[in-house]
Chains A and B, each alone.
Chain A
Amino acid sequence: MAEELKLVRGYPEYMRKSIERVEASRPRRLEEGPPPGMSLEEREELLKKYHPDYAPGGKRPLVAGPNKGEVAPNEVADLLEAYPLLEPGELELKVDFDVDILILGGGLAGTMAAIWAHEQGVPPDRILLATKLRHGDSNSIMAQGGTQAADKPYDSPTIHFLDAMGGGHFTNKPDVLKALVEDAPFIVKWLTELGCLFDRDENGEFVEEWGGGTSRPRMHAARDYTGMEELRVIRDEFRSRGFGLLEFYPAVELLTDPKGRVAGAVLWNMETDEYKVVRAKAVVLATGGFGRLHIRGFPTTNHYGATADGLVLAYRAGALLRDLDTVQYHPTGAAYPQQIVGLLITEKVRGLGAQVVNRDGEAFVFPLEPRDVEAAAIIRECYDRENCLVTPTGLRGVWLDSPMIEEIHGEGTIERRLPAMFRMYQRFGIDMRRDPILVFPTLHYQNGGVETDPWGRTNVEGLFVAGEVTGGVHGKNRLMGNSTLDCLVFGRRAGIAAAEYVKGKKAPQTVTLDHLKGFVEELRAAGVPEERRSPMLLPDYRGKRVLARMIDLL
Chain B
Amino acid sequence: MSDKAVPSSAKASAAHHNASRVTRHALPYFPGCALKDQARGFEDSARAAMAALGYELAELPRWNCCGTVYSLATDDLMRHLGPVRNLVRVQDLGETRLVTLCAMCYNTLARSSRFVGADPERLERINAFMDDEADYRGGVEVVHLLELLRDEVTFEAIEAKVERPLDGLKVAPYYGCMLLRPREVGIDDPDSPGVLEALLSALGAEPVDFPQKAECCGAYQTVSSPEIARARVGEIVSAARWAGAELIATSCPLCTYNLEHHQVEREERETRHASPVTRHEIPILYFTQLLALALGVSEDKLGFAGLKFDPRPLLSDRELV
Q: Which residues of A contact B (CB under 8 A)?
A: 412, 415-416, 419, 423, 426-427
Whose C-beta in chain A lies nearest to the C-beta of B6? Answer: A426
Whose C-beta in chain B lies nearest to the C-beta of A416? Answer: B11
Interface size on B, residues (CB 8 A): 6
How far, in Å, is B12 (CB) from chain A's closest CB?
A: 8
A120 to B132: give the CA distance in the assembly, Å: 51
Q: Is the CB of B9 closer than 8 A to any CB of chain A?
A: yes
A415 near B14 with CB under 8 A, answer: yes
**Residues in B neighbouring A426, C-beta threshold 8 A:** 5-6, 9
B14 near A412 with CB under 8 A, answer: yes
A-B contact pairs, 16 of them (CB 8 A): A412-B11, A412-B14, A415-B9, A415-B10, A415-B11, A415-B14, A416-B11, A419-B10, A419-B11, A423-B6, A423-B10, A426-B5, A426-B6, A426-B9, A427-B5, A427-B6
Whose C-beta in chain B lies nearest to the C-beta of A415? Answer: B11
A412 to B9: give the CA distance in the assembly, Å: 10
User: Chain B 1-29 against A: per-residue CB contact (8 Å), 1 yes, 0 no?
Assistant: 00001100111001000000000000000
Known: A419-B10, A426-B5. 7 other contacts (CB 8 A): A412-B14, A415-B9, A415-B10, A415-B14, A419-B11, A423-B10, A426-B9
Whose C-beta in chain B lies nearest to the C-beta of A418? Answer: B11
How far, in Å, is B5 (CB) from chain A's closest CB?
A: 6
A427 to B4: give the CA distance in the assembly, Å: 10
Q: Which residues of B contact A (CB under 8 A)?
A: 5-6, 9-11, 14
How far, in Å, is B97 (CB) from chain A's closest CB?
A: 32
Of all A-B residue pairs in the complex, the 8 with the closest CB atoms, nearest first, are A415-B11, A416-B11, A426-B6, A419-B11, A419-B10, A423-B6, A427-B5, A427-B6
How far, in Å, is A83 (CB) from chain B's closest CB?
A: 47
Q: Is the interface of B mostly helix, strand, loop or mixed?
A: loop
A349 to B5: give the CA distance in the assembly, Å: 24
**Residues in B neighbouring A419, C-beta threshold 8 A:** 10-11
**Residues in A neighbouring B9, C-beta threshold 8 A:** 415, 426
A412 to B11: give the CA distance in the assembly, Å: 8
Whose C-beta in chain A lies nearest to the C-beta of B15? Answer: A416
**Residues in B neighbouring A416, C-beta threshold 8 A:** 11
How far, in Å, is B3 (CB) from chain A's closest CB?
A: 15
How far, in Å, is B103 (CB) from chain A's closest CB?
A: 36
How far, in Å, is A397 (CB) from chain B's closest CB?
A: 24
**Residues in A neighbouring B11, C-beta threshold 8 A:** 412, 415-416, 419
Whose C-beta in chain A lies nearest to the C-beta of B9? Answer: A415
Which residue, B5, B6, B10, B11, has most C-beta atoms of chain A within 10 A?
A: B11
Which residue, A412, A415, A427, has most C-beta atoms of chain B within 10 A?
A: A415
How far, in Å, is B150 (CB) from chain A's closest CB?
A: 42
A412 to B14: give the CA distance in the assembly, Å: 10
A526 to B9: give the CA distance in the assembly, Å: 60
How far, in Å, is A487 (CB) from chain B's closest CB?
A: 27
**Residues in B neighbouring A423, C-beta threshold 8 A:** 6, 10
**Residues in A neighbouring B10, C-beta threshold 8 A:** 415, 419, 423
A426 to B9: give the CA distance in the assembly, Å: 10
How far, in Å, is A323 (CB) from chain B's closest CB?
A: 39
How far, in Å, is B93 (CB) from chain A's closest CB?
A: 22
How far, in Å, is A422 (CB) from chain B's closest CB?
A: 8
How far, in Å, is B45 (CB) from chain A's closest CB?
A: 29
**Residues in A neighbouring B5, C-beta threshold 8 A:** 426-427
A427 to B5: give the CA distance in the assembly, Å: 7
How far, in Å, is A419 (CB) from chain B's closest CB?
A: 6
How far, in Å, is B233 (CB) from chain A's closest CB?
A: 39
How far, in Å, is B10 (CB) from chain A's closest CB?
A: 6
How far, in Å, is B65 (CB) from chain A's closest CB?
A: 25
A426 to B5: give the CA distance in the assembly, Å: 8
A383 to B141: give the CA distance in the assembly, Å: 68
A419 to B13: give the CA distance in the assembly, Å: 12
A63 to B261: give the CA distance in the assembly, Å: 80
How far, in Å, is A237 (CB) from chain B's closest CB?
A: 24
A412 to B12: give the CA distance in the assembly, Å: 11
Whose C-beta in chain A lies nearest to the C-beta of B7? Answer: A426
How far, in Å, is B9 (CB) from chain A's closest CB?
A: 7
A416 to B14: give the CA distance in the assembly, Å: 10
**Residues in B neighbouring A412, C-beta threshold 8 A:** 11, 14
**Residues in A neighbouring B14, C-beta threshold 8 A:** 412, 415
How far, in Å, is A214 (CB) from chain B's closest CB?
A: 26
A416 to B5: give the CA distance in the assembly, Å: 19
A419 to B14: give the CA distance in the assembly, Å: 12
A412 to B18: give the CA distance in the assembly, Å: 13
How far, in Å, is B204 (CB) from chain A's closest CB?
A: 44
